[in-house]
Amino acid sequence: MTRLKTAALMLATTLLTGAAASAQQADVIIKGGTIYDGGTGKPFVGDVAIKGDRILYVGPDSPLRAAQTVDAKGMIVSPGLIDAHSHPDTYILSPDAKVRVNAPWTRQGVSTILVGVDGYGTPDIADYAAQRTKAGVGTNLVPMIGFGAVRQHVLGQDARAPDAAELDRMKALVAKGMCEGAVGLSTGLFYPPQSFAKTEEVIAVAREAAIRGGLYDTHQRDESSYTIGLKGSVQEVLRIGREAGMPVHFAHIKALGVDVQGQAPKIIAMIEAARKAGQDVTADQYPWLASGSSLEASLLPGWSVDGGAKKMLERFADAPTMARIRTEMEKNMRRRGGPGKMLLISAGFDWTGKTLEQMAAAWHLDPLDAALKIITQDANSDDKHYGGAIASFNMIDADVDLFMKQPWVVTSSDGSDGHPRQFATFAEKYAQYVQKRHVIDLATFIRQSTGRTADIYRLDHRGYLRSGYYADVAVIDPTHYAPRADYVHPRELSVGVRQLYVNGRLTVDSDANTGTLAGRVLLRPAPKACPAH
């Protein structure tokens, strides 16, 4: 080692010790909180110092001076929480800056969210990043390319395989998105038109993300017993990972519906076996017994919506076809536990907050006809006010609890409009699963919502309270942190976040947004297999 290098190394070492750090000035010191740093170590009482957008110091008794001190005695001090799967467009795309603070998330202490999930993310990542950056947003955004967006761009809604030229165009779009900084490829193979894609097509397209260092993040083809079944679907995901050569991540892992409830141990065994064989397999999960879906997606057979709303209505009008649709709808209804397990949650309708069973009784209709009435009304309606959203009560505690305890499972909200998980997932998990039912402990909850998630998505210098990392920091009051939203009142903000810093800037202060839009679009550096290299 040269003398210069040795000196540099010594200097770097000294900077980490208190002696040299004491000469420095921090912007903010969060003092005396119980620090959960996002890793596997034990929590400890200490200080976190922030300067600019970075963490300057984490440890006991900070020797630094600061312009501002936050007393965090008795508080949880953790990395800003990370949401592995979310649908925040209502907020982050709003023309109103007050909405773009992204309060449903920031008021839970969430600083970073994964977007473009379920196959819906645009492949125009650079464009997306430029627009979000220009407008400003309250949380960091980590974009994924959506297989569905790519497929639709090339094939529309068609239920067919691409020809060679079309497949090449799809691959090129994924390559472009990866080169522009996406973290990976998301799919939602449950949803048409993505469901029309065969496994081989998905592998071919996913490989473009794989060779550029991306992961495969999937709302799998079947979480229930709709088509290939939950186990068959898990096998498909594992196969895609193996053959495309990339890490695979199950979005909102669950056993959905009466046919597969209780299968969590089997699914976990399949994933454990793959992990033992060297495959990189992880998952995220939301802490709710009801999934969010739509009447259309949960009841109608996939083929009946092929080609879009107009074609669907044509099939409804054709008696023999409609008879076939009804037969399949009946099966799907049974799978979902019946109309009493479907809560209608689209806001502003006669049926908001009622079950499909209740609405059918009120209309003196068979439940299938009540569902078709809403679906048809939606299909005929020009405005974007969609009436068919449901909370579908289809999971059991035993499965949810067991998935939650796996070291490869992290927290996600899947937060979509009208389901309380958008406003309350992290607070709900803390209140129900940590405090009330003791399914996991507090340190596990925080690790699953910070460091572990950052590892899965390979977020650069995020997810941990460490010197030199970005200053995404949450100060949470353990006695007040709680959800306020429920299924019938899904849009109540959670409470108990004392402070949230995003990139070093105060974003939430005592349960109120400051108005700061400090979020960034977190792009990965261009991988080797890109034009610039």
* Residues engaged in binding Zn ion (CB under 5 A): 118, 219
For residues 147 and 470, which CB has a smaller minimum distance to Zn ion in the complex?
147
Q: DSSP assignment of 338-371, as one string?
A: -GGGEEE--TTSTTTT-BHHHHHHHHT--HHHHH
Amino acid at site 502: V
Contact partners, residue 52, CB within 8 Å, separation at least 6: 27, 471, 504
d(CA 117, CA 147): 9
Name the minimum Å distance from CB 291 to Zn ion.
9
Closest CA to 32 of 68, 69, 65: 69
504 is written with which tokens? 């070093």
For residues 27 and 118, which CB has a smaller minimum distance to Zn ion in the complex?
118
DSSP 435: I
For residues 104 and 292, which CB has a smaller minimum distance to Zn ion in the complex?
292
Name the minimum Å distance from CB 219 to Zn ion.
3
Name the minimum Å distance from CB 188 to Zn ion.
6
HSE-CB at 163 with a 13 A cutoff on CA atoms is 1
- Tell whether the torsion through CA atoms of 48, 51, 52 and 58 is positive or negative: negative
Region at 249 (left for phi over 0; alpha for psi -120 to 50; beta for the rest):
beta
For residues 295 and 500, which CB has a smaller minimum distance to Zn ion in the complex?
295
Name the minimum Å distance from CB 392 to Zn ion.
13
Q: Are 280 and 241 in contact (CB under 8 A)?
A: yes
For residues 219 and 505, which CB has a smaller minimum distance to Zn ion in the complex?
219
Name the minimum Å distance from CB 252 to Zn ion.
6
Helix or strand (DSSP H, E) at 268: helix 264-276
Amino acid at site 66: A
- Which stretches of 17-96 are DSSP H helices? 18-21, 89-92
Name the minimum Å distance from CB 459 to Zn ion.
21
For residues 117 and 493, which CB has a smaller minimum distance to Zn ion in the complex?
117
Helix or strand (DSSP H, E) at 402: helix 397-404
Percent helix, strand, coil in the chain, to 5, is: 40, 20, 40
Name the minimum Å distance from CB 324 to Zn ion.
27
For residues 101 and 271, which CB has a smaller minimum distance to Zn ion in the complex?
271
For residues 118 and 417, which CB has a smaller minimum distance to Zn ion in the complex?
118
For residues 112 and 293, which CB has a smaller minimum distance to Zn ion in the complex?
293
For residues 51 and 219, which CB has a smaller minimum distance to Zn ion in the complex?
219
Q: Are 104 and 477 in contact (CB under 8 A)?
A: no
Q: Is 378 helix (H, G, I), strand (E, B) or coil?
A: helix
Residue for token pair 């998990």: 429
Name the minimum Å distance from CB 186 to Zn ion.
9
Name the minimum Å distance from CB 420 to Zn ion.
16
Name the minimum Å distance from CB 117 to Zn ion.
6
Residue nearest to Zn ion (CB): 219
